Structure 1
Amino acid sequence: MTRPRDERGSAAIEAAVGVPAFVLFVGLIVFGGRTATTHQAVETASADAARAASLERTSAAARASATSAAATSLANQDIQCLDVDVTVDTTQFARAVGETARVSVTVRCRLDLADLSVPGVPGSRLIAATTASPIDTWRERG
Protein backbone atom coordinates (compact mmCIF):
# COMPACT_ATOMS: atom_id res chain seq x y z
CA MET A 1 0.00 0.00 0.00
CA THR A 2 1.24 3.46 -0.90
CA ARG A 3 0.88 6.33 1.49
CA PRO A 4 -0.64 9.52 0.16
CA ARG A 5 1.96 12.29 -0.34
CA ASP A 6 2.25 14.86 2.36
CA GLU A 7 1.42 18.30 0.91
CA ARG A 8 2.08 20.39 3.98
CA GLY A 9 4.00 23.56 3.11
CA SER A 10 3.03 23.62 -0.56
CA ALA A 11 0.86 26.74 -0.07
CA ALA A 12 3.84 28.60 1.38
CA ILE A 13 5.97 27.69 -1.62
CA GLU A 14 3.25 28.75 -4.03
CA ALA A 15 2.91 32.08 -2.20
CA ALA A 16 6.67 32.60 -2.24
CA VAL A 17 6.63 32.27 -6.02
CA GLY A 18 3.28 33.91 -6.81
CA VAL A 19 3.25 37.01 -4.59
CA PRO A 20 6.42 38.65 -5.98
CA ALA A 21 5.22 38.04 -9.54
CA PHE A 22 1.85 39.59 -8.69
CA VAL A 23 3.49 42.62 -7.04
CA LEU A 24 5.71 43.10 -10.09
CA PHE A 25 2.68 42.89 -12.37
CA VAL A 26 0.77 45.49 -10.32
CA GLY A 27 3.85 47.76 -10.31
CA LEU A 28 4.06 47.61 -14.09
CA ILE A 29 0.37 48.46 -14.39
CA VAL A 30 0.86 51.49 -12.13
CA PHE A 31 3.93 52.50 -14.18
CA GLY A 32 1.97 52.31 -17.44
CA GLY A 33 -1.00 54.18 -16.04
CA ARG A 34 1.06 56.96 -14.53
CA THR A 35 3.08 57.36 -17.72
CA ALA A 36 -0.03 57.46 -19.94
CA THR A 37 -1.81 59.94 -17.67
CA THR A 38 1.22 62.23 -17.56
CA HIS A 39 1.70 62.03 -21.33
CA GLN A 40 -1.90 63.12 -21.89
CA ALA A 41 -1.49 65.97 -19.38
CA VAL A 42 1.72 67.16 -21.06
CA GLU A 43 0.02 67.14 -24.47
CA THR A 44 -2.83 69.22 -23.03
CA ALA A 45 -0.38 71.62 -21.38
CA SER A 46 1.48 72.00 -24.67
CA ALA A 47 -1.75 72.81 -26.54
CA ASP A 48 -2.82 75.30 -23.86
CA ALA A 49 0.59 76.97 -23.94
CA ALA A 50 0.67 77.20 -27.74
CA ARG A 51 -2.78 78.75 -27.82
CA ALA A 52 -1.89 81.26 -25.12
CA ALA A 53 1.32 82.21 -26.94
CA SER A 54 -0.47 82.67 -30.26
CA LEU A 55 -2.79 85.28 -28.74
CA GLU A 56 0.08 87.59 -27.73
CA ARG A 57 1.46 90.43 -29.88
CA THR A 58 5.17 90.13 -29.04
CA SER A 59 7.51 87.18 -28.81
CA ALA A 60 8.52 88.07 -25.23
CA ALA A 61 4.89 88.17 -24.11
CA ALA A 62 4.26 84.90 -25.98
CA ARG A 63 7.09 83.15 -24.11
CA ALA A 64 5.85 84.38 -20.74
CA SER A 65 2.23 83.49 -21.51
CA ALA A 66 3.15 80.01 -22.76
CA THR A 67 5.25 79.23 -19.70
CA SER A 68 2.50 80.37 -17.38
CA ALA A 69 -0.21 78.47 -19.27
CA ALA A 70 1.81 75.23 -19.26
CA ALA A 71 2.49 75.44 -15.52
CA THR A 72 -1.15 76.23 -14.78
CA SER A 73 -2.39 73.39 -16.97
CA LEU A 74 -0.13 70.82 -15.30
CA ALA A 75 -1.09 72.10 -11.84
CA ASN A 76 -4.80 71.94 -12.69
CA GLN A 77 -4.38 68.32 -13.76
CA ASP A 78 -2.48 67.54 -10.52
CA ILE A 79 0.64 66.38 -12.34
CA GLN A 80 3.78 66.37 -10.20
CA CYS A 81 6.87 66.77 -12.38
CA LEU A 82 10.41 66.78 -11.01
CA ASP A 83 11.09 69.61 -13.43
CA VAL A 84 9.20 71.27 -16.27
CA ASP A 85 10.84 72.83 -19.31
CA VAL A 86 8.83 74.97 -21.73
CA THR A 87 10.45 75.88 -25.05
CA VAL A 88 8.65 78.43 -27.21
CA ASP A 89 9.57 78.96 -30.87
CA THR A 90 8.52 82.53 -31.67
CA THR A 91 10.67 83.07 -34.77
CA GLN A 92 7.61 83.50 -36.98
CA PHE A 93 6.47 86.53 -34.98
CA ALA A 94 8.95 88.45 -37.18
CA ARG A 95 6.92 87.74 -40.32
CA ALA A 96 5.03 90.61 -41.88
CA VAL A 97 1.32 91.09 -41.30
CA GLY A 98 -0.55 89.20 -44.01
CA GLU A 99 1.85 86.25 -44.04
CA THR A 100 0.81 83.06 -42.31
CA ALA A 101 2.73 82.39 -39.13
CA ARG A 102 2.59 80.04 -36.18
CA VAL A 103 4.08 79.61 -32.77
CA SER A 104 5.33 76.24 -31.54
CA VAL A 105 5.60 75.15 -27.91
CA THR A 106 7.35 72.09 -26.50
CA VAL A 107 6.63 71.05 -22.91
CA ARG A 108 8.95 68.56 -21.20
CA CYS A 109 8.09 66.98 -17.85
CA ARG A 110 10.41 64.69 -15.89
CA LEU A 111 8.07 62.22 -14.20
CA ASP A 112 9.18 60.80 -10.83
CA LEU A 113 8.90 57.01 -10.76
CA ALA A 114 11.30 56.31 -7.89
CA ASP A 115 8.49 55.31 -5.54
CA LEU A 116 7.54 52.30 -7.70
CA SER A 117 10.82 50.41 -7.14
CA VAL A 118 10.02 47.90 -9.88
CA PRO A 119 13.03 46.19 -11.47
CA GLY A 120 13.69 47.56 -14.93
CA VAL A 121 11.69 50.76 -14.35
CA PRO A 122 13.87 53.90 -14.27
CA GLY A 123 13.64 56.37 -11.38
CA SER A 124 12.31 59.06 -13.71
CA ARG A 125 11.10 59.39 -17.26
CA LEU A 126 11.11 62.38 -19.61
CA ILE A 127 7.76 63.00 -21.27
CA ALA A 128 7.50 65.67 -23.97
CA ALA A 129 4.90 67.05 -26.36
CA THR A 130 5.02 69.75 -29.04
CA THR A 131 2.07 71.72 -30.36
CA ALA A 132 1.86 74.53 -32.92
CA SER A 133 -0.83 77.18 -33.05
CA PRO A 134 -1.44 79.69 -35.83
CA ILE A 135 -0.91 83.40 -35.26
CA ASP A 136 -3.65 85.63 -36.64
CA THR A 137 -2.51 86.56 -40.15
CA TRP A 138 -3.89 90.10 -40.05
CA ARG A 139 -3.00 90.96 -36.45
CA GLU A 140 -0.09 93.31 -35.80
CA ARG A 141 2.83 91.60 -34.13
CA GLY A 142 6.34 92.49 -33.15
Structure 2
Amino acid sequence: MRRRRDAERGSMSLETAVVAPALLALLALIIIGGRVALAHQAVESAAAEAARSASIARTQGEAGAQAEASAWAALDNEGLHCSSRSVAVDTSGFAAPAGTPASVSATVTCVVNLAGLQVPGVGPQTITKTMTSALDTYRER
Protein backbone atom coordinates (compact mmCIF):
# COMPACT_ATOMS: atom_id res chain seq x y z
CA MET A 1 0.00 0.00 0.00
CA ARG A 2 2.78 2.39 0.69
CA ARG A 3 4.09 2.17 -2.87
CA ARG A 4 0.84 3.31 -4.40
CA ARG A 5 0.87 6.56 -2.36
CA ASP A 6 4.47 7.26 -3.33
CA ALA A 7 3.64 6.82 -7.02
CA GLU A 8 0.77 9.34 -6.86
CA ARG A 9 2.54 11.80 -4.64
CA GLY A 10 3.44 14.45 -7.27
CA SER A 11 0.43 13.93 -9.54
CA MET A 12 -1.59 16.78 -8.03
CA SER A 13 1.19 19.28 -8.67
CA LEU A 14 1.61 18.02 -12.21
CA GLU A 15 -2.14 18.27 -12.92
CA THR A 16 -2.19 21.82 -11.57
CA ALA A 17 0.77 22.79 -13.72
CA VAL A 18 -0.98 21.44 -16.82
CA VAL A 19 -4.46 22.85 -16.11
CA ALA A 20 -3.53 26.31 -14.75
CA PRO A 21 -2.34 27.85 -18.08
CA ALA A 22 -5.47 26.62 -19.82
CA LEU A 23 -7.69 28.15 -17.14
CA LEU A 24 -5.79 31.45 -17.33
CA ALA A 25 -6.19 31.50 -21.12
CA LEU A 26 -9.92 30.85 -20.74
CA LEU A 27 -10.19 33.66 -18.19
CA ALA A 28 -8.35 36.04 -20.55
CA LEU A 29 -10.74 35.15 -23.40
CA ILE A 30 -13.75 35.80 -21.17
CA ILE A 31 -12.38 39.21 -20.17
CA ILE A 32 -11.59 40.15 -23.78
CA GLY A 33 -15.03 38.99 -24.92
CA GLY A 34 -16.68 41.05 -22.20
CA ARG A 35 -14.75 44.18 -23.08
CA VAL A 36 -15.55 43.79 -26.78
CA ALA A 37 -19.25 43.23 -26.03
CA LEU A 38 -19.36 46.34 -23.83
CA ALA A 39 -17.60 48.35 -26.54
CA HIS A 40 -20.12 47.19 -29.17
CA GLN A 41 -22.99 48.19 -26.87
CA ALA A 42 -21.46 51.62 -26.18
CA VAL A 43 -20.88 52.36 -29.88
CA GLU A 44 -24.41 51.22 -30.77
CA SER A 45 -25.81 53.45 -28.02
CA ALA A 46 -23.77 56.39 -29.33
CA ALA A 47 -25.04 55.79 -32.87
CA ALA A 48 -28.65 55.67 -31.66
CA GLU A 49 -28.19 58.87 -29.68
CA ALA A 50 -26.58 60.59 -32.68
CA ALA A 51 -29.40 59.54 -35.03
CA ARG A 52 -32.04 60.69 -32.56
CA SER A 53 -30.35 64.06 -32.04
CA ALA A 54 -30.07 64.56 -35.80
CA SER A 55 -33.75 63.71 -36.33
CA ILE A 56 -34.99 66.41 -33.96
CA ALA A 57 -32.73 69.14 -35.37
CA ARG A 58 -34.40 71.92 -37.33
CA THR A 59 -31.92 72.14 -40.23
CA GLN A 60 -29.64 69.81 -42.11
CA GLY A 61 -26.46 71.58 -40.95
CA GLU A 62 -27.61 71.68 -37.35
CA ALA A 63 -28.41 67.95 -37.52
CA GLY A 64 -24.81 66.97 -38.32
CA ALA A 65 -23.36 69.10 -35.53
CA GLN A 66 -25.86 67.87 -32.94
CA ALA A 67 -25.37 64.25 -33.97
CA GLU A 68 -21.60 64.47 -33.59
CA ALA A 69 -21.80 66.21 -30.22
CA SER A 70 -24.30 63.70 -28.83
CA ALA A 71 -22.25 60.73 -30.10
CA TRP A 72 -19.11 62.02 -28.33
CA ALA A 73 -21.10 62.66 -25.15
CA ALA A 74 -22.59 59.16 -25.26
CA LEU A 75 -19.17 57.53 -25.72
CA ASP A 76 -17.76 59.60 -22.86
CA ASN A 77 -20.71 58.71 -20.61
CA GLU A 78 -20.17 55.02 -21.34
CA GLY A 79 -16.50 55.39 -20.40
CA LEU A 80 -15.29 54.02 -23.74
CA HIS A 81 -11.92 55.40 -24.74
CA CYS A 82 -11.45 55.29 -28.50
CA SER A 83 -7.98 55.75 -29.95
CA SER A 84 -9.73 56.94 -33.11
CA ARG A 85 -13.38 57.80 -33.59
CA SER A 86 -15.64 59.28 -36.24
CA VAL A 87 -19.28 60.05 -36.90
CA ALA A 88 -20.88 60.12 -40.34
CA VAL A 89 -24.41 61.48 -40.58
CA ASP A 90 -26.70 61.01 -43.59
CA THR A 91 -29.05 63.97 -43.51
CA SER A 92 -30.40 63.59 -47.05
CA GLY A 93 -33.86 63.00 -45.57
CA PHE A 94 -34.08 66.72 -44.83
CA ALA A 95 -34.32 67.32 -48.60
CA ALA A 96 -37.59 65.38 -48.86
CA PRO A 97 -40.70 67.56 -48.98
CA ALA A 98 -42.98 67.74 -45.96
CA GLY A 99 -45.53 64.93 -45.96
CA THR A 100 -43.00 62.45 -47.32
CA PRO A 101 -41.57 59.86 -44.93
CA ALA A 102 -37.84 60.42 -44.43
CA SER A 103 -35.11 59.49 -42.00
CA VAL A 104 -31.58 60.31 -40.96
CA SER A 105 -28.88 57.83 -40.08
CA ALA A 106 -25.70 58.07 -38.07
CA THR A 107 -22.67 55.80 -38.32
CA VAL A 108 -20.25 55.81 -35.39
CA THR A 109 -16.83 54.21 -35.73
CA CYS A 110 -14.53 53.66 -32.77
CA VAL A 111 -11.13 51.97 -32.62
CA VAL A 112 -10.79 50.32 -29.21
CA ASN A 113 -7.28 49.39 -28.14
CA LEU A 114 -7.30 46.05 -26.32
CA ALA A 115 -3.51 45.80 -26.16
CA GLY A 116 -3.56 46.87 -22.50
CA LEU A 117 -4.72 43.37 -21.57
CA GLN A 118 -1.23 41.94 -22.21
CA VAL A 119 -2.59 38.99 -24.18
CA PRO A 120 -0.55 38.03 -27.25
CA GLY A 121 -2.33 38.59 -30.55
CA VAL A 122 -4.87 41.03 -29.14
CA GLY A 123 -4.70 44.52 -30.57
CA PRO A 124 -6.97 47.33 -31.67
CA GLN A 125 -10.52 46.47 -32.68
CA THR A 126 -12.59 48.67 -35.01
CA ILE A 127 -16.26 48.82 -34.12
CA THR A 128 -18.79 50.45 -36.47
CA LYS A 129 -22.51 50.78 -35.82
CA THR A 130 -25.23 52.51 -37.84
CA MET A 131 -28.61 53.57 -36.51
CA THR A 132 -31.54 55.31 -38.21
CA SER A 133 -34.18 57.64 -36.84
CA ALA A 134 -37.30 58.84 -38.62
CA LEU A 135 -37.97 62.49 -39.30
CA ASP A 136 -41.40 63.87 -38.45
CA THR A 137 -43.35 63.40 -41.69
CA TYR A 138 -45.36 66.60 -41.45
CA ARG A 139 -42.74 68.87 -39.98
CA GLU A 140 -41.48 71.74 -42.11
CA ARG A 141 -37.99 70.99 -43.35
| Deviates most, 109-118 or 24-33 | 109-118
1:28-58: CA deviations, max 9, x gaps?
A: 0001111111111111111111000001122
Corresponding position of 1:127: 127
Alignment of 1:61 with 2:62, yes or no, is yes
1:7 deviation in Å? 4.3
Name the SS for the 1:63 alignment partner. Answer: helix
Hey, what's the Cα distance between the residues in 2 that align with 1:130 and 1:3?
Answer: 68
Name the SS for the 1:115 alignment partner. Answer: helix
| Deviates most, 72-81 or 15-24 | 15-24
Residue correspondence of structure 1 range 2-41 to structure 2 within 5 A: 3-4=3-4, 5-41=6-42
Q: CA RMSD in A?
A: 2.0
Hey, what's the Cα distance between the residues in 1 that align with 2:85 and 2:25?
Answer: 29
1:111 deviation in Å? 1.4
Unaligned runs of 5+ in 1: none
Hey, what's the Cα distance between the residues in 1 that align with 2:93 and 2:113?
Answer: 35
Hey, what's the Cα distance between the residues in 2 that align with 1:6 and 1:101?
Answer: 77
Name the SS for the 1:136 alignment partner. Answer: coil
1:3 deviation in Å? 4.1
Hey, what's the Cα distance between the residues in 1 that align with 2:21 and 2:118?
Answer: 13
Unaligned runs of 5+ in 2: none
Corresponding position of 1:74: 75
1:8 deviation in Å? 4.9
1:9 deviation in Å? 4.2
Name the SS for the 2:89 alignment partner. Answer: strand
CA contact (8 A) 1:28 1:118 kept: no
1:65 deviation in Å? 0.5
Q: TM-score, normalised by structure 1?
A: 0.87
1:76-132: CA deviations, max 9, x gaps?
A: 111122221111011121111221110001111111110223344x30111121111
Hey, what's the Cα distance between the residues in 2 that align with 1:3 and 1:21?
Answer: 31
1:139 deviation in Å? 1.9
Q: If each structure's helix is expressed as a fraction of its own residues, which one has the higher value? A: 2
